[in-house]
C-alpha cells in the first residue's frame, strides 16, 4: 500500500509542507514521485515518519533526529527503544500527576505536605542499567548512595541547580554567544561542578556525556525543549570545556 502526501499529512496531524521539508533534509524520502509531481509514501516511510514524530515530541531537533535514525537502522530495535522511553515517560508523568494532585489536595485542606509525595516522579533509577553499562556498576552504586543520602530538600535544590544551568544555556544560545567564550564556558564549568557531586568529572566522561545530550532524546529534552538546538549548544560547550580544562 501507499499513501499520497496529503493523506499522510492529514492522518499524522501535520502538513504537506512539513513532509516536503523532511524530504528535502533527507529525513523522509518518498517511496516514489508520480508523473504529476505528487509524493507517495509506503509502509516503511510511515514507520519512519512515526519515529521522526516521536523524536520531535521528545524535543530533539531535526539534525539530531537524522543522526539518530542513521544510527538505528534496525526498525524493530528502534521502535522497541521508543516504546520503552514512552512507557517510562508515561509512568513518570503519571507519578507527577498524582504528586500534584496530592499537593493540591493537602494545600486546599490545610494539611501538612510530605516532601516524599511532592517530589515523586523524579526518579534517577530509570538509568540504572545504562549507567552500569556505560561507566560501570560501581559508578551507578556510588551515585545511587549519594542520591539516597540526600534529604528531600537537598534533592530539590540539586534539581533546581540543574534547571538554572539549563536555562542559562538556553539564554546564551538565544543571545548568539560563542560556545568557546568566557560566559558560556563559565556555564560549562558550573555544569561540570554540578556533575562532580555524583561522579569523577574527567575529560572522557564529560565528552561522552556531552555527545549523549545531543544524540539521546532522553537527555536532549532537558535542554532542547523547543527544538531550538540548545542540546547541540550544550554538547559543543562541554566538549570545548573538557578539551581545554579537564584531564583523564
12 vs 6: CA distance, rounded Å: 10
pLDDT of residue 194 exceeding 70, the answer is: yes
**Are the C-beta atoms of 173 and 179 separated by less than 8 Å?**
no
What residues have CB less than 8 Å from 203, skipping those under 6 apart?
242, 243, 246, 247, 248
d(CA 215, CA 221): 10
What pLDDT, on a 0 to 100 scale, did the predictor assign at position 19? Answer: 93
Q: What is the CATH number of the domain that holds 237?
A: 1.10.490.50
- Do residue 53 and residue 79 come from a single domain? no
CATH of the domain at 41: 1.10.1660.10
Rounded Cα distance, 22 and 246, in Å: 39
Query: Quick check: 28 pLDDT over 90?
Result: yes
Asked if pLDDT for residue 5 goes beyond 60, the answer is yes
pLDDT band of 136, cuts 50, 70, 90: low
The edge-to-edge listing of strands for the beta sheet with 32-33 is 2-4, 39-42, 32-33
pLDDT, one tens digit per residue, over 214-241 is: 887 777 877 876 667 899 999 999 999 9
**Residue of 191 and 77 predicted with greater confidence:** 191
- What does the alpha-carbon distance between residue 196 and residue 182 come to, in Å, rounded to a whole number? 21
Structural domain count of the chain? 2
Does residue 13 share a domain with residue 119?
Answer: no
Is residue 125's pLDDT more than 70?
A: no
Contact 214, 234 (CB under 8 A): yes
Do 33 and 96 share a structural domain?
no
Whether the pLDDT of residue 130 is over 70: the answer is: no
Mean pLDDT score of the chain, rounded to an integer?
80
Higher-confidence residue of 207 and 60: namely 207
Which of 75-89, 182-196, 197-211 has maximum average pLDDT?
Answer: 182-196
**In terms of Cα–Cα distance, which of 232, 220, 172 is closest to 56?**
220
Residue 93 has pLDDT above 80, yes or no: no
Amino acid at each position: 500500500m501507499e499513501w499520497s502526501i496529503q493523506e499522510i499529512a492529514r492522518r499524522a496531524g501535520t502538513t504537506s509542507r512539513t513532509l516536503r521539508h523532511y524530504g528535502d533534509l533527507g529525513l523522509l524520502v518518498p517511496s516514489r514521485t508520480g508523473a504529476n509531481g505528487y509524493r507517495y509514501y509506503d509502509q516503511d516511510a510511515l514507520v519512519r515518519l512515526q519515529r521522526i514524530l516521536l523524536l520531535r515530541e521528545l524535543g530533539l531537533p531535526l539534525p539530531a533526529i537524522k543522526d539518530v535514525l542513521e544510527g538505528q537502522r534496525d526498525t524493530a530495535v528502534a521502535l522497541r527503544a521508543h516504546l520503552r522511553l514512552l512507557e517510562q515517560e508515561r509512568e513518570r508523568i503519571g507519578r507527577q500527576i498524582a504528586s500534584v494532585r496530592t499537593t493540591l489536595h493537602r494545600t486546599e485542606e490545610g494539611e501538612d505536605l510530605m516532601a516524599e509525595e511532592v517530589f515523586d516522579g523524579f526518579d534517577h533509577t530509570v538509568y540504572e542499567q545504562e549507567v552500569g553499562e556505560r561507566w560501570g556498576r560501581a559508578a551507578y552504586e556510588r551515585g545511587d548512595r549519594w542520591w539516597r543520602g540526600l534529604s528531600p530538600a537537598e534533592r530539590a535544590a540539586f534539581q533546581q541547580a540543574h534547571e538554572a544551568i539549563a536555562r542559562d544555556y538556553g539564554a546564551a544560545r538565544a543571545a548568539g554567544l560563542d560556545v568557546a567564550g568566557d560566559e558560556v564556558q563559565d556555564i560549562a564549568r558550573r555544569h561540570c561542578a554540578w556533575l562532580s557531586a555524583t561522579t569523577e568529572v574527567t575529560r572522557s566522561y564529560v565528552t561522552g556525556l556531552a555527545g549523549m545530550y545531543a544524540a539521546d532524546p532522553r537527555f536532549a529534552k532537558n535542554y532542547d525543549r523547543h527544538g531550538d538546538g540548545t542540546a547541540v549548544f550544550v554538547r559543543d560547550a562541554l566538549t570545548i570545556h573538557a578539551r581545554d580544562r579537564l584531564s583523564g
